[in-house]
């Protein structure tokens, strides 16, 4: 029974930060093609400094003014227009700070067709800085200007159409595996205090899911302390994060398990002290795993509001979470329950928001996320189970994961920030206690 129920899952992953609103042609994206909407323009941090700097030997830098001639960049090479003198002077084996862009180790330098190509490999933070203290603070607003300073990438081979809409927001829509999908992202008003999101997924008249809500503005702060090539401390926190999420779904005799995946990356980069780019990337991934037997129904309509902080403190090879959940309020606003001659089990999981943080295009925080789940379970009273049971649970779980190899540390870990659950039962329900953690654990 337990293994059967873990199949009855519906997992929705939506990760949001800020995005660019340039409109594409709405055509069908070729298989395996990456569709990019808009460009990425760096912003300066509200506060930020780099102090106590001691550089390693065999290092150098290319200034922001020289970086203006950069024509393209990927994970192996930087291509510059013309023959910039500072670029031509680089030597093989040097670790180079390309200001506002990346930390790289030079492999070779070639000139051809009026361009200079620098072939490189990855370099770590402590290969350039022997010692440094870095800190920054940035208020993350949701204005139209911030949207236009970001970049959106969609793996076109997974969804057959991508449509950008209006000057302030963006919409992705298409059809995949028999599901009609729509994801809308829009800032509210001109203050930038709120980003609205609306997600719908429909499969004919057999299944429908709607999730809508918002994420507030918040402040992001970081402190990094590197001494004699060793990372002593790295602390990051999101403060005053508020959100609301309303989830509504209904399933009718949907026995086929269907999976949907929409890889979406939304990136925004801030510049610390005019040198170090820090990129916030949000990934959107929608997955569906429903299974509802014939002549059965399952539905829920709940609203969640929350506020708190998210973050972590790393000190001398130990990590502690810095997350608090100050508010957690769940309201049932519509029909919530199931009906069947046997067993119905459906779960809905929604990651909103999910943050990923990189420094010099290297990921150092795999994720900081809020994971919201709604699970419904119904059984009419079968042999060997307590029943009857008609139960719905909404849970919110915050998780942080880090990978600090970029700083020369062999350290990775994940920690729970907080977790809350609210349960709704039909009067007289006798639900097997062991079933709930199984389904809930699969979603979170």
Average pLDDT over residues 241-262: 70
What confidence tier does 57 reach under pLDDT thresholds 50, 70, 90? very high
**Model pLDDT, residue 299:** 80
Q: Is pLDDT at 431 greater than 60 in this prediction?
A: yes
Range in 38-52, 82-96, 287-301 with the lowest mean pLDDT: 287-301
Q: Across the strands, what pairs with 354?
A: 369
According to DSSP, the β-strands at 343-359 and 10-13 are parallel
Average pLDDT over residues 151-180: 61
Which of 104-108, 314-318, 420-424 has maximum average pLDDT?
Answer: 104-108
Structure tokens at 412: 């990775």
Q: Is pLDDT at 92 greater than 90 in this prediction?
A: yes
In percent, the amount of the chain with pLDDT more than 90 equals: 37
**Model pLDDT, residue 353:** 81
**What's the rounded Cα separation, in Å, for the pair 243 and 221?**
19
Q: Across the strands, what pairs with 173?
A: 182
Q: Is pLDDT at 442 greater than 90 in this prediction?
A: no
Average pLDDT over residues 370-394: 74
Q: Is pLDDT at 1 greater than 50 in this prediction?
A: no
Higher pLDDT, residue 147 or 11: 147
User: Of all helices (H) and strands (E), which one includes residue 391?
Assistant: strand 389-403
What confidence tier does 41 reach under pLDDT thresholds 50, 70, 90? confident
**What's the rounded Cα separation, in Å, for the pair 372 and 419?**
10
Higher pLDDT, residue 390 or 159: 390
User: Of all helices (H) and strands (E), which one includes residue 196?
Assistant: strand 194-203
In percent, the amount of the chain with pLDDT more than 70 equals: 72
| pLDDT tens, residue by residue, 185-227 | 788 877 888 888 888 888 888 778 888 888 899 999 999 999 9
- Is the CB of residue 20 less than 8 Å from the CB of residue 146? no
Q: Is pLDDT at 165 greater than 60 in this prediction?
A: no
Backbone φ, ψ for residue 438 (5° rounding): -65, -50
What confidence tier does 381 reach under pLDDT thresholds 50, 70, 90? low
Higher pLDDT, residue 144 or 187: 187
- Is the CB of residue 116 less than 8 Å from the CB of residue 109? yes
Range in 195-199, 255-259, 295-299, 337-341 with the lowest mean pLDDT: 255-259
Q: Is pLDDT at 11 greater than 50 in this prediction?
A: no
**What's the rounded Cα separation, in Å, for the pair 72 and 120?**
13
What confidence tier does 30 reach under pLDDT thresholds 50, 70, 90? very low
| pLDDT tens, residue by residue, 98-132 | 998 899 999 999 999 999 999 999 999 999 999 99
């Amino acid at each position: 029974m337990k293994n059967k129920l873990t199949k009855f899952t519906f997992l929705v992953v939506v990760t949001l930060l800020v995005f660019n609103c340039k409109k594409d042609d709405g055509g069908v994206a070729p298989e395996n093609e990456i569709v990019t909407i808009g460009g990425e323009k760096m912003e300066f941090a509200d506060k930020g400094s780099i102090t106590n700097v001691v550089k390693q030997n065999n290092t150098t830098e290319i200034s922001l003014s020289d970086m203006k001639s950069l024509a393209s960049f990927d994970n192996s090479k930087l291509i510059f227009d013309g023959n910039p003198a500072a670029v031509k002077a680089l030597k093989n084996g040097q670790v180079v700070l390309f200001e506002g862009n990346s930390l790289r180790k030079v492999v070779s330098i070639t000139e051809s067709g009026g361009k200079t190509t620098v072939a490189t490999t990855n370099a770590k933070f402590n290969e350039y800085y022997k010692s440094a203290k870095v800190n920054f603070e940035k208020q993350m607003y949701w204005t139209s200007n911030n949207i236009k300073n970001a970049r959106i990438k969609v793996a076109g081979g997974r969804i057959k159409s991508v449509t950008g809409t209006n000057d302030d927001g963006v919409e992705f829509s298409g059809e995949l595996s028999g599901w009609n999908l729509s994801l809308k992202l829009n800032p509210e008003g001109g203050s930038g205090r709120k980003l609205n999101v609306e997600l719908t997924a429909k499969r004919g008249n057999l299944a429908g899911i709607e999730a809508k809500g918002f994420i507030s503005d918040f402040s992001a702060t970081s402190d990094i302390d590197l001494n004699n090539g060793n990372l002593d401390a790295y602390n990051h926190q999101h403060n005053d994060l508020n959100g609301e999420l309303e989830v509504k779904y209904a399933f009718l005799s949907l026995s086929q398990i269907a999976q949907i995946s929409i890889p979406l990356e939304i990136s925004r980069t801030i510049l610390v002290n005019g040198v170090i780019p820090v990129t916030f990337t949000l990934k959107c991934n929608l997955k569906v795993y429903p299974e509802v037997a014939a002549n059965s129904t399952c539905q829920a309509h709940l609203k969640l509001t929350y506020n708190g902080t998210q973050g972590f403190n790393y000190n001398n090879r130990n990590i502690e979470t810095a997350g608090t959940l100050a508010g957690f309020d769940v309201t049932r606003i519509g029909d919530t329950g199931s009906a069947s001659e046997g067993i119905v089990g459906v779960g809905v999981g929604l990651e909103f928001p999910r943050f990923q943080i990189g420094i010099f295009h290297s990921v150092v925080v795999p994720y900081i996320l809020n994971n919201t789940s709604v699970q419904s379970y119904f059984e009419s009273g079968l042999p060997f189970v307590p029943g009857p049971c008609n139960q719905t649970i909404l849970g919110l779980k915050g998780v942080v994961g880090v990978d600090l190899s970029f700083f020369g540390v062999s350290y990775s870990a994940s920690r729970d920030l907080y977790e809350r659950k609210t349960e709704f039962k039909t009067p007289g329900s006798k639900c097997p206690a062991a079933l709930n953690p199984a389904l809930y654990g699969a979603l979170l």
